[in-house]
């Protein structure tokens, strides 16, 4: 496979081996005598997540989302037929998640999920009017290398076991071979989830605030805001937007907590809106203090990104903290209309206190393909 470093097999092996070594070093600081079988204090493998169905796994399943993620963005060779490539990747996904692929190197897949998307160039080739055919426009506060903008193929890999993620990535890229050329990749981690509602949890982000409270968390809201209803080739899929953003954490940390909360629009400890109520209460944008000041400031993120104020649907949002080469946030949103994202960010650009702390270094949008099964290979509805 053609890759930027020209050593695909070595790079994939080193990525997997490096992750194993890091965990091994952390676990091996104290010498212990060898003993047969797994240690008695080894964590149980997480429950497997079915790879097949109407929707791909890794979006609403599992719940909560796994804590470890790797996204690989690649281009597909101009002479490569997308259909056979995607079908091959789908078969590999099934084997990896079932634990039957030897390239897992004996690791238990646990809750491994792999989610595959195709970029606007490939979507336009299948149908110029299809959802997902529109490129993500440029925005302010971007500093992107050309290789970090756009792409033909998204491979999102998530798992509770950090070791499994790079090993699965190496297997998928090995399966793709020289049909794809990697553009960029990013690993990330989510913090532990905290209770939000009786059936909803959410993690804290790198800023210390609970993240992902508002979104299409019910089946009805997912039907309205998340899944594509049609046309038939894309029904059951969704649109993903990826943005990698460097953060000025030191500047944010120097603010008093009250100023941090004003920038976000929520209490840092509880996640409740500054307008009051519970963590799941809708922010009351018109609520004011007795002297006429908005309880949620005019430039608070909660106000600028509010779906009702923007006039768009809800996004299913996830953010993963990264640390290479600088503190950053990998933001991923899923929605059934790209305008949900673009209109929201356009409004945020006019006045959002959090945007002043960010510089976007990578970005892309992808059509997340509908689900697949024994009789319907991955991508067959679009490229069959």
- Confirm whether 10 is domain-assigned: no
pLDDT tens per residue, range 258-291:
999 999 999 999 999 999 999 999 999 999 999 9
- Confirm whether 336 is domain-assigned: yes
92-127: b or e for each residue (b if 16 or more CB lie within 10 Å)? bbbbbbeeebebbeebebbbbbbbbbbbbebbeebe
- Confirm whether 37 is domain-assigned: no
The answer to whether residues 54 and 345 touch, using CB atoms and an 8 Å cutoff, is no
Helices within 100-248 (DSSP H only): 120-126, 164-176, 219-225
Q: Taking the CB of residue 7, how many other CB atoms lie within 10 A of it? A: 11
The residue written with tokens 């039907």 in the block is 223
Average pLDDT, the chain: 90
CA distances from 262 to 212, 294, 297, 300, 313 (A): 18, 10, 6, 6, 24
Angle at which helices 8-27 and 164-176 pack, to 10 degrees? Answer: 170
The answer to whether residue 379 scores a pLDDT higher than 70 is yes
The answer to whether residue 1 scores a pLDDT higher than 50 is no
The answer to whether residue 334 scores a pLDDT higher than 80 is yes
> How many structural domains comprise the chain?
1
- Confirm whether 40 is domain-assigned: no
Tell me what the mean pLDDT of segment 165-185 comes to. 98
- Both structure tokens of 62: 């599992």
**The dihedral of CA 20, 331, 365, 354: what is its sign?**
negative
Lowest mean pLDDT among 168-172, 258-262, 319-323: 319-323
The answer to whether residues 88 and 82 touch, using CB atoms and an 8 Å cutoff, is no
- Confirm whether 255 is domain-assigned: yes
Range of the domain at 299: 47-383
Output DSSP code: residue 150: -
Check residue 14 and give its pLDDT. Answer: 45
Q: Taking the CB of residue 282, how many other CB atoms lie within 10 A of it? A: 11
Burial of 12 per CB tally in 10 Å (0-12, 13-18, 19+): buried
Check residue 279 and give its pLDDT. Answer: 96
Output the 3-class SS for 263-325: HHCECCCCCCECCCCCCCCCCCCCCECCCCCECCCCCCHHHHCCHHHHCCCCCEEEEEEECCC
- Both structure tokens of 101: 């692929």
For residue 358, give the CATH number of its domain. 3.30.70.3420
pLDDT tens per residue, range 96-136:
999 999 999 999 999 999 999 999 999 999 999 999 999 99
- Confirm whether 15 is domain-assigned: no
pTM of the predicted model as reported, rounded to 2 decimal places: 0.89
- Confirm whether 8 is domain-assigned: no
Q: Find, among 202, 260, 259, 178, the residue nearest to 8 by Cα.
A: 178
pLDDT tens per residue, range 44-103:
579 999 999 999 999 999 999 999 999 999 999 999 999 999 999 999 999 999 999 999
Q: Find, among 181, 165, 200, 222, the residue nearest to 18 by Cα.
A: 165
- Confirm whether 21 is domain-assigned: no
């Amino acid at each position: 496979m053609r890759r930027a470093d020209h050593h695909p097999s070595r790079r994939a092996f080193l990525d997997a081996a490096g992750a194993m070594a890091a965990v091994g070093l952390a676990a091996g600081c104290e010498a212990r005598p060898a003993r047969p079988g797994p240690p008695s204090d080894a964590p149980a493998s997480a429950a497997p997540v079915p790879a097949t169905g109407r929707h791909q796994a890794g979006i609403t399943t599992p719940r909560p989302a796994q804590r470890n993620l790797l996204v690989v963005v690649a281009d597909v060779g101009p002479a490569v037929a997308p259909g056979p490539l995607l079908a091959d990747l789908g078969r590999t996904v099934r084997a990896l998640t079932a634990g039957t692929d030897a390239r897992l190197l004996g690791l238990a897949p646990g809750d491994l999920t792999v989610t595959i998307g195709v970029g606007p160039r490939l979507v336009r080739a299948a149908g110029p009017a299809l959802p997902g055919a529109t490129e993500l426009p440029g925005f302010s506060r971007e500093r992107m290398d050309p290789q970090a903008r756009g792409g033909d193929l998204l491979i999102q890999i998530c798992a509770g076991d950090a070791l499994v993620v790079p090993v699965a990535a190496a297997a998928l890229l090995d399966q793709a071979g020289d049909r794809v050329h990697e553009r960029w990749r990013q690993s990330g981690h989510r913090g532990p989830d905290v209770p939000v509602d009786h059936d909803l949890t959410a993690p804290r982000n790198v800023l210390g605030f609970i993240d992902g409270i508002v979104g299409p968390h019910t089946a009805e809201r997912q039907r309205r805001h998340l899944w594509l209803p049609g046309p038939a080739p894309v029904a059951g899929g969704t649109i993903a937007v990826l943005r990698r953003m460097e953060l000025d954490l030191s500047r944010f940390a120097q603010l008093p907590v009250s100023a941090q909360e004003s920038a976000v629009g929520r209490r840092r400890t509880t996640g409740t809106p500054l307008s009051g109520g519970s963590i799941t209460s809708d922010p009351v944008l018109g609520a004011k203090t007795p002297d006429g000041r908005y309880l949620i400031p005019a430039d608070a993120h909660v106000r600028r990104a509010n779906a009702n104020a923007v006039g768009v649907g809800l996004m299913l949002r996830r953010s993963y903290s990264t640390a290479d080469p600088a503190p950053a946030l990998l933001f991923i949103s899923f929605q059934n209309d790209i305008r949900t994202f673009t209109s929201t960010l356009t409004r945020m650009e006019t006045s959002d206190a959090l945007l002043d702390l960010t510089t976007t270094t990578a970005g892309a949008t992808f059509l997340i393909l509908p689900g697949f099964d024994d009789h319907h290979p991955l991508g067959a509805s679009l490229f069959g």
